Chain A
Amino acid sequence: MNKDLKETIESKHKEIEPLFHKGGKFEKFFPLFEAQDPFALTPPDVTKGHTHVRDAVDLKRVMFTVVVALIPCLLWGIFNAGYNYYHYSGIEANPFMILFRGALIVMPIVLTSYIVGGIWEVTFAIVRKHEINEGFLVTGLLFPLTLPPTIALWQVAVGITFGVVIGKEIFGGTGFNILNPALTARAYLFFAHAKDMTGDVWAKFRYFDPELGKYVDGKTGATPLGLGASYGGQAADVTERLSSDGFSLATIFGGLMPGSIAETSAIPILIGAAILIVSGVGSWKIMAGGVMGLLGTAILMNFLPSGVVGDVTLTTWTQVPFIYHLFMGSFLFGIVFMATDPVSAAQTDMGKWIYGVLIGVVTVLVRVTNPGFPEGVMLAIIFMNVMAPIIDYYVVRGHIAKRNAYLRKFSYAKG
């Protein structure tokens, strides 16, 4: 049966392929044909050049593995969105209702991202006559997962447009971009539509109130990061205050709380991280470096008082134990899925460590020293995306110096 299906598809492909070739009716749409063709069947191409055999790995497989690693986060995001919807609207709901409601909230956001982003991707592929890159499968899912579930669909469309066009295509497409496109898209929304993206509006679902017989706004629910910033500069026991506001360490780890779609729970993110690390697709060096940088800086910050110190205003976050920093906000999601994007990250081994550690350090610095931004991960990663080539430059110079030292050893030995 499988074989018959394969033969049918193969013969159909052979039938329509000439339409897309030079002189064919759909010549302009060759990238479209080229994109779907190897998805159905592996290409019949044979090797050229001097190396005659090839590994079975393909960029499609690598990229799709990231999508697979994101699926636990997507499922969690759906459940959490449904849960919060009912939680803040005060309606009792069973798990099926929660999942259904969650899917109704999250899937349109994901689909909008894929469809609008996909249209841009195809447009550029046709105009530039290059292949459609599978990297978009990742960007198209990564971006919506970083958004609050209350985001408007037109904002999703504008955001992914910015990410694909300005974040990637103006640099020449996948492989040439400086910043992570998904994060560029999110950063754009963050600054352009700040009030819809941050702080304490994240649980603002409109819901149908059967008693009143009309749609009403839900209660607002704050995120722990938003709350923490609002505690002001008092040197109170922050964890106690968080706990009394409903954010114990267990809640923060488990993640049944308001926040961006995929960031709230550590569990699905850790499953995704395991998939990326075991399959070798994501760099464990960046992840490990990031966690180390975050923990180290958070511990150092604990020695500082909060409030106004000299010219600097420090937020209450100086007093938060490092473990809260790790599970709160979107740090885990960012370091596992965003920071490890191989195109915008540092490329050398040593560079990856430095890049990861600095993302952790900058994240805590933004959280602690900048009362304007409750969350620092996005800014930290974008900042380090920009710095990555400089890190690599110095790592490579160091490598050359080490090489020369090794070579010189031999010239001395010879006199």
Chain B
Amino acid sequence: MTADFKIKNGLDIPMEGAPGDQIRSVPLKGTVSVFPSEYKRVKFKMLAEEGDTVKQGGVLARRKDQQDFLLRSPVAGKILEIKLGERRSLQEIVIDPTDAADQETFTTFTVNGLLKTPREDLLSHLKDTGLMALIRQRPFNVIADASVPPKSIFVNGMNTAPFRPDAHLLARGKAEELQAGLNALTRLTDGPVHLCLAAAKAVTPDLLTKAANVQVNYFDGPHPSGNTSTHIHYLDPVLPGDTVWTLRVSDVLRIGELLLNGVIPSTQTLLLAGNGVKPEARGDVKATTGMSLSAILDGALIEGETRIVRGDALYGDIAVPESGVYFYDQGYVVLPEDRERHLLGWYAPTTEMYSAHKVVPSAWLKGKKFTFGTNTRGSKRALVLTGIYDKYVPLDIMVDPLSRACISKDTEDAIALGILETDPEDFALCTFVCPSKTDFGAIVAETLALIQEEGF
């Protein structure tokens, strides 16, 4: 059962800095941190104290609103410090790792056994181990609510954004973990589990294309054909009251690893890319969850001021090198902070700076790759041009009316116009191409937060 979707709207930005396909390991160095603050809008209560020793998989904290949803340590060691933020919110738990292979062990499952495991058992196991947090839910892209069964589950195996890791590379050699994870997902919904892959990958069969018990769907076209919102829109759109659950292939692999081995996975495979990373260092690195970014990026960055983005160049958070590998991270794009000023740059016929608009000469150069920095390349203005954004959004969404509804806080209209089908990352290309330098992602994010708060 295979469906094929050809996406026309969108844009593949010809960006330099694409990664190669090597995977190297970075040894653990320094302390390891767990960041409860990365689970946005979720509050935790500490269950351990400074000075305690914890096992790998030992309990650190639990969710305030769900007693059985725990936060566990990726490594064994001693808790050095618990950092609190505003209103005593838990920010960071710093652990000094020890060499001892001191592991908390959990129930193990078999690949085929998982097909018969009761849903409730799986869910409570995932919550107990904290890996439930890898399963997210639409609308609103929040941690899935285990008490509401989703109508379907979407696994994203695509990487159209600049740059995200290649799921096919991540899954290589992990047949059992992949299938165990997917089998577990089939138990969590009465509907189908959709695995969405790039059509180009269908030519060379591998573990993902041959995955069993799920519906493999192929999407073709420019970014954001690889965004989960796109997949949901074409396969099983979210209607009012519906929920669907979403994961990435890397998440499925981690869940599979836990279920088969009975141990909390302590490493993550992370992509390093972007022209702020030296060409030879671009690629996947295997590193310990929570270790500091400076240790991973040591010697990998170009000279000069750079920006580390947790995510991709089109949508991600800025990270400081002193911070660590978040539980959700799957890669970092590093870009040079570009503060250079260009003489008469606003009308100079540039061929060095990429534009999707035909009014800039560089847009006529086909096949050329461009370097990107973080410069705004213009100043913020009122929204003047209209009707140019829709061709960058493959969902049935009209961007102009939606953003107007959002700006005027008309949540009712925003919902009618389809905001619940979207995630702010879906509007990143609109932000990118906007001549008035408007941040559409931020506008949509604000309204989504408002709707989530008020209910609908």
**Interface residues, chain A, with chain B CB atoms under 8 Å away:** 2, 5-6, 9-10, 38-62, 64-65, 131, 133-135, 173-176, 278-281, 283, 342-343, 345, 347-349, 352, 392, 396, 399-400, 402-403, 406-407, 410-411, 414
- Is A60 a contact partner of B343 (Cβ separation < 8 A)? no
- Docked CA distance A407–B151 (Å): 14
Which A residue's beta carbon lies closest to that of B385? A342
Known: A279-B357, A347-B400. 13 other contacts (CB 8 A): A38-B378, A41-B345, A45-B379, A46-B376, A50-B316, A52-B335, A53-B13, A54-B377, A57-B377, A60-B347, A175-B381, A280-B357, A402-B396
Contact of B359 among A41, A62, A347, A403 (CB under 8 A): A62
- Docked CA distance A342–B437 (Å): 16
| B314 in contact (CB, < 8 A) | yes
Residues of B57-94 whose CB lies within 8 A of A? none
Given A56-B350, A59-B381, A51–B343 Cβ distance below 8 Å?
Answer: no
Which B residue's beta carbon lies closest to that of A408? B239
> Mind listing 25 A-B residue pairs with CB under 8 Å?
A6-B343, A39-B346, A40-B344, A41-B344, A41-B345, A42-B341, A42-B378, A43-B341, A45-B339, A46-B338, A46-B375, A49-B439, A50-B316, A50-B317, A51-B432, A52-B309, A54-B378, A55-B354, A55-B357, A55-B434, A57-B360, A396-B398, A399-B396, A402-B396, A406-B237
Residues of A within 8 A of B239 (CB): 407, 410-411
Contact of A131 among B354, B379, B416 (CB under 8 A): B379
Residues of B within 8 A of A50 (CB): 311, 315-317, 424-425, 428, 439, 441-442
- Is A56 a contact partner of B362 (Cβ separation < 8 A)? yes
Which B residue's beta carbon lies closest to that of A65? B359
Given A42-B377, A53-B13, A60-B346, A281–B359 Cβ distance below 8 Å?
Answer: yes
Residues of B within 8 A of A51 (CB): 314-315, 428, 431-432, 439, 441
Q: Mark B380-393, 1 if CB is under 8 A from A, else 0.
A: 01111111101000
Residues of A within 8 A of B374 (CB): 46-47, 52-53
| B281 in contact (CB, < 8 A) | no
- Docked CA distance A278–B357 (Å): 10
Interface size of B as a range: 35 or more
- Is B384 a contact partner of A410 (Cβ separation < 8 A)? no
Given A52-B307, A61-B346, A392-B401, A279–B359 Cβ distance below 8 Å?
Answer: yes
Residues of A within 8 A of B362 (CB): 56
Contact of A57 among B375, B379, B433, B441 (CB under 8 A): B433
Contact of B381 among A9, A131, A283 (CB under 8 A): A131
Say how far A257's CB is from chain B's closest CB, in angstroms: 33
Which A residue's beta carbon lies closest to that of B151? A414
- Is B375 a contact partner of A54 (Cβ separation < 8 A)? yes
- Is B359 a contact partner of A61 (Cβ separation < 8 A)? yes
Residues of A within 8 A of B353 (CB): 56
Given A52-B309, A348-B398, A402-B396, A42–B346 Cβ distance below 8 Å?
Answer: yes
- Is A44 a contact partner of B435 (Cβ separation < 8 A)? no
Residues of A within 8 A of B390 (CB): 349
Residues of A within 8 A of B400 (CB): 347-348
Residues of B within 8 A of A173 (CB): 382
- Is B418 a contact partner of A38 (Cβ separation < 8 A)? no
- Is B436 a contact partner of A406 (Cβ separation < 8 A)? no
| B128 in contact (CB, < 8 A) | no
| B96 in contact (CB, < 8 A) | no
- Docked CA distance A348–B398 (Å): 8
| B49 in contact (CB, < 8 A) | no
Say how far B9's CB is from chain A's closest CB, in angstroms: 13
How many Cβ-Cβ contacts under 8 Å join chain A to chain B?
A: 219
Residues of B182-230 whose CB lies within 8 A of A? none
- Docked CA distance A279–B200 (Å): 32
| B176 in contact (CB, < 8 A) | no
Residues of B310-362 whose CB lies within 8 A of A? 311, 313-318, 333, 335, 337-347, 350, 353-360, 362
Given A53-B432, A280-B358, A59–B335 Cβ distance below 8 Å?
Answer: no
Given A49-B442, A173-B382, A55–B344 Cβ distance below 8 Å?
Answer: no
- Docked CA distance A84–B64 (Å): 84
Residues of B406-448 whose CB lies within 8 A of A? 416-418, 424-425, 428, 431-437, 439, 441-442
Pick from B359, B362, B432 the residue with the most CB of A within 10 Å: B359
- Docked CA distance A396–B338 (Å): 40
Residues of A within 8 A of B339 (CB): 44-46
Say how far B387's CB is from chain A's closest CB, in angstroms: 6
- Docked CA distance A48–B318 (Å): 9
- Is A59 a contact partner of B436 (Cβ separation < 8 A)? yes
Residues of A within 8 A of B382 (CB): 133, 173-176
Which A residue's beta carbon lies closest to that of B402? A396
- Is B359 a contact partner of A54 (Cβ separation < 8 A)? no
| B372 in contact (CB, < 8 A) | yes
- Docked CA distance A65–B435 (Å): 13
- Docked CA distance A350–B373 (Å): 37
Residues of A within 8 A of B385 (CB): 59, 62, 342
| B260 in contact (CB, < 8 A) | no
- Docked CA distance A278–B364 (Å): 11
Say how far B347's CB is from chain A's closest CB, in angstroms: 6
Residues of A within 8 A of B311 (CB): 50
- Is A58 a contact partner of B379 (Cβ separation < 8 A)? yes
- Is A133 a contact partner of B381 (Cβ separation < 8 A)? yes
- Is A53 a contact partner of B335 (Cβ separation < 8 A)? yes
Residues of A within 8 A of B373 (CB): 46, 53
Which B residue's beta carbon lies closest to that of A410? B237
Which B residue's beta carbon lies closest to that of A343? B384
Residues of B within 8 A of A38 (CB): 346, 378-379
Contact of A46 among B151, B317, B337, B384 (CB under 8 A): B337
- Docked CA distance A62–B436 (Å): 10
Residues of A within 8 A of B307 (CB): 46, 52
- Is B346 a contact partner of A342 (Cβ separation < 8 A)? no
Residues of B within 8 A of A58 (CB): 346, 377-379, 435, 437
- Is A54 a contact partner of B432 (Cβ separation < 8 A)? yes
Contact of A2 among B318, B343, B398 (CB under 8 A): B343
| B12 in contact (CB, < 8 A) | no
Given A50-B442, A410-B237, A348–B342 Cβ distance below 8 Å?
Answer: no
